[in-house]
Structure 1
């Protein structure tokens, strides 16, 4: 891929991410994306083929990195802290909160919220097909720590963890970053509290 192609594709993805965050998927037209990215419709068709594929790729460019980090952290947790619950939960939680802190990650969090609100079935299938294996890896690792849970209970609790994590990523709760505390430290504190909360839930 040439530098020009890379620049065009990234501009389209960045514009789409911002517009999806602001207006949702159905509320954003390809014409709006091309206007924001300063490209023509042929460039969108060339790089993505369809609006559905563009939506998917907006997620892929963030989720691929986060998923790889989660799995790397999970392997390290299993090697260094076998059968310990909190290191496994940290491997799931911390990469997501790190992404939320990144200046490019904030828009994706709003896009995720839009995906929940709009019940985009095509996107849900894409995310399940592409990243379901990550959830299954964590479920297998967690099951060794909480053998009293059957598979359904385990997946319910993993689902609740995902919801709480999305909420924490959006920084929408009652606890705001205190004056004098860096964003990084605030996120680390949020991660610690979420990991403790989730561990108690899995053990219950």
Structure 2
């Protein structure tokens, strides 16, 4: 019974992620989600209670693990390469690009993130701040230790710019496409290296 419930919940989340990516949060109805997931509205209400909670859970499903990976890599970087800005930035960038590589809906989730930037959804922004704001604060603290002369306001501006550039890199929408003969893993590694180098220069300047 538990596996059936999990399967139903996962189908709903996958369908919602795809539809939110295509049509946005406002443009997607629960009826569309239930049709795509092949479930009835009672299943959505049982597992999530509301559309707002469903939106939140779409983010939680991927961002919980991404946040764990970021904090784990940051902790390791602090031990192995203390005071090195590039190591801190790698801990922020690499787990996010790994999400984009996920063949099980990773590309759709990146478009959902872009929707979150584009659409004004105060409830979602509050949820993300409450759930994941501590991750950004940990990285801000680590960056400040690497660049002690940087004012707090400047630090947060630059971290905000880094987040935007990272979302752009995750979407693979830029001018640099994967060359023929280069694997997806190698291409993403190059993207991470270039973004880390770019961000380090901007933060240090």
Length-normalised TM-score, structure 1: 0.99
Residue matched to 2:56: 56
Tell me the alpha carbon deviations over residues 9-44 of structure 1, each in whole angstroms, 9 at most, x when there is no partner: 000000000000000000000000000000000000
Q: Name structure 2 gaps, 5 residues minimum.
A: none
- CA deviation vs aligned residue, 1:60-109 (integer Å, no higher than 9, x gap): 00000000000000000000000110000000000000110111211110
What's 1:106 paired with? 107
Task: Identify the range of structure 1 (101-110 vs 24-33) with the bigger mean alpha-carbon deviation.
Answer: 101-110
Structure-2 residue corresponding to 1:71: 71
CA distance in 2, matches of 1:59, 1:68: 14
CA distance in 1, matches of 2:127, 2:187: 32
SS at match of 2:173: coil
- Residue 145 of structure 1 deviates from its aligned partner by 0.8
Unaligned regions of 5+ residues in structure 1, if any? Answer: none
Partner of 1:44: 44
Q: Aligned-pair distance for 1:128?
A: 0.4
What whole-Å deviation, never above 9, does each CA across 1:95-139 have from its counterpart, x for those lacking one? 000110111211110001111111211111100000000000000
**CA distance, structure 2, for counterparts of residue 8 and residue 191 of structure 1:** 35
Aligned partners of 1:8, 1:48: CA distance in 2, in Å? 12
Other-structure match for 2:175: 174
Moved more, 69-78 or 99-108: 99-108
Matching residue of 1:3? 3
Equivalenced residue count is 204
Aligned-residue CA RMSD (Å)? 0.7
The runs of at least 4 aligned residues of structure 1 exceeding 2 Å deviation read none
In structure 1, distance between residues paired with 2:99 and 2:16:
18
